Amino acid sequence: MKNKPFAFGTSILIAILCASIALVAGGFLYFDRPVSAGNAETSLFTVTHGTSIRVITQNLAGQQLIRSEYFAYIYSRIFDLSLKAGTYKLSPGMSTSRILRNIAGGKQEYIRVTVPEGLSLMKTARHLESAGVVSVKDFLAAARDPTVLNRYGLGGKNAEGFLFPDTYFFPYKTDAVTVVATMVDNFFRKTASLENKPADPAELYNKVILASIVEREYRVSAEAPRIASVFVNRLKIGMGLQSCATIEYIITEIQNKPHPTRVTDDDLAIRNDYNTYLWAGLPPGPISSPGLVALRAALNPEETKFLYFRLTDPAAGTHSFTYSLDEHVKVGRQYILKTAAGD
């Protein structure tokens, strides 16, 4: 009989303990529930570097992504979650624990953008801005930043030519310097094993200038090394490169005019250092960002004696290559007659 009070007290304690556990479990289940179950609509949530857990949970509650900032804070502390900086795609249909573990796992969203071959610096900037990566103003400033250029030993006034065309995955709100550095790093990584790549930065810069012109001239990959050979042969004899692509660059990138439907005699007479019809040698800098086909061609041109080429099959994108101006003119006349005949 003396054990009954003890047994009764123990039962009460157990009952209280069970009730407490049930209360805690119930509270956990309630506050962990999605704000709007079944709601698949997502929004972007950004965690900046150095933001405390307290502020993060407050912001989550402020955007109505979780039920309780206090529960989220306690949950993060109990499970020792390290909430990582980044931008995340979250939904009010997700539980608080899932949201917190997504952030702790760094499962952030990226902007996928494909930068085509042959874009100029300005066109690259506009392309990235339209994709939501970075503003034109910030990108141009970063691409012209002497600190960035010196880091890679780039001799020009900007990073044009070294912004490697590729598909990129940039985190939201990536700063412009990081975007430029990522693209230039990619250039050096992708070209590391190219045959005959110069080790001297000045020589490499000249090869990139040549490749940037080849990029804008070739249409069929197999012809790129032959087109490069024409320009190399012209350089050897002090002849102007006479590339219409450099004239188009002057008009669109320097004069900020629309792309011409055709290059006129007046265009060929524009007094500008990039006009390869007026001056012999390479222009002052690249006119586009070349891809691997053009880069390989500039580094390993065919060994020919061709001095001229002309597009003679627009549908196939192929050119005719000739040794002399007379042959070049003859091919042009034949092409005009063939076109007029409807062949």
Question: Residue 36 is part of a domain; what is its CATH number?
Answer: 3.30.1490.480
pLDDT tier at 61, thresholds 50, 70, 90: very high
Q: In this structure, are 126 and 84 located in the same domain?
A: no
Can you read off the two tokens belonging to residue 171?
């985190």
Can you read off the two tokens belonging to residue 135?
């503003």
Of 78, 84, 82, residue with least CA distance to 32: 78
Q: In this structure, are 85 and 120 located in the same domain?
A: no
Asked if the structure places residue 318 within a domain, the reply is no
> What was the pLDDT predicted at 31?
76
Can you read off the two tokens belonging to residue 142?
């970063």
Helix (H, G, I), strand (E, B) or coil at 30: helix
* Cβ–Cβ < 8 Å for 162, 190: no
> What was the pLDDT predicted at 253?
94
Q: In this structure, are 44 and 70 located in the same domain?
A: yes
Helix (H, G, I), strand (E, B) or coil at 110: strand
Asked if the structure places residue 121 within a domain, the reply is yes
Return the exposure string of 326-337: e unless at least 16 CB atoms fall within 10 Å of the residue's CB, then b. Answer: ebbeebeeebee
Final residue of a structural domain among 190, 224, 249? 190
Asked if the structure places residue 83 within a domain, the reply is yes
Can you read off the two tokens belonging to residue 250?
């002057």
Q: In this structure, are 96 and 35 located in the same domain?
A: yes
* Residue carrying structure tokens 């012999």: 280
Mean pLDDT along residues 75-87: 91
Q: In this structure, are 86 and 145 located in the same domain?
A: no
Between CA 83 and CA 70 the distance in angstroms is 15
Q: In this structure, are 44 and 130 located in the same domain?
A: no
Q: In this structure, are 235 and 142 located in the same domain?
A: no
Contacts of 201 (CB under 8 A, 6+ apart): 153, 154, 155
Alpha helices in 144-190 (DSSP H): 146-152, 176-190
pLDDT tier at 51, thresholds 50, 70, 90: very high
Mean pLDDT along residues 280-296: 96
**DSSP-assigned states of every residue in 262-327:** S--HHHHT---TT-TTTSBS--SS-SS---HHHHHHHHS-------EEEEEETTTTEEEEESSHHH
171: enclosing H helix or E strand: strand 167-171
> What was the pLDDT predicted at 38?
73
Tens digit of pLDDT for each residue in 96-147? 999 999 999 988 889 999 999 999 999 999 999 999 999 999 999 999 999 9
Asked if the structure places residue 286 within a domain, the reply is yes
Between CA 58 and CA 187 the distance in angstroms is 42
Q: How many domains does the chain have?
A: 3
Asked if pLDDT for residue 17 goes beyond 80, the answer is no
Between CA 295 and CA 299 the distance in angstroms is 6
Q: In this structure, are 46 and 121 located in the same domain?
A: no
**DSSP-assigned states of every residue in 81-96:** --PPPEEEEE-TTS-H
**DSSP-assigned states of every residue in 201-265:** HHHHHHHHHHHHHHHHH-SSGGGHHHHHHHHHHHHHTT-B---HHHHHHIIIIIS--PPPSS--H
Asked if the structure places residue 129 within a domain, the reply is yes
Q: In this structure, are 159 and 206 located in the same domain?
A: no
Final residue of a structural domain among 133, 160, 190? 190
Cβ neighbours of 107 (radius 10 Å): 12
Q: In this structure, are 219 and 299 located in the same domain?
A: yes
Tens digit of pLDDT for each residue in 211-258? 999 999 999 999 999 999 999 999 999 999 999 999 999 999 999 999
Contacts of 19 (CB under 8 A, 6+ apart): none
Asked if the structure places residue 253 within a domain, the reply is yes
Final residue of a structural domain among 88, 104, 120? 104
Q: In this structure, are 243 and 181 located in the same domain?
A: no
Residue 148's domain spans which residues?
110-190
Q: What single letter denotes the amino acid at residue 6?
A: F
Asked if the structure places residue 39 within a domain, the reply is yes
Asked if the structure places residue 54 within a domain, the reply is yes
Asked if pLDDT for residue 24 goes beyond 70, the answer is no
Q: In this structure, are 88 and 181 located in the same domain?
A: no
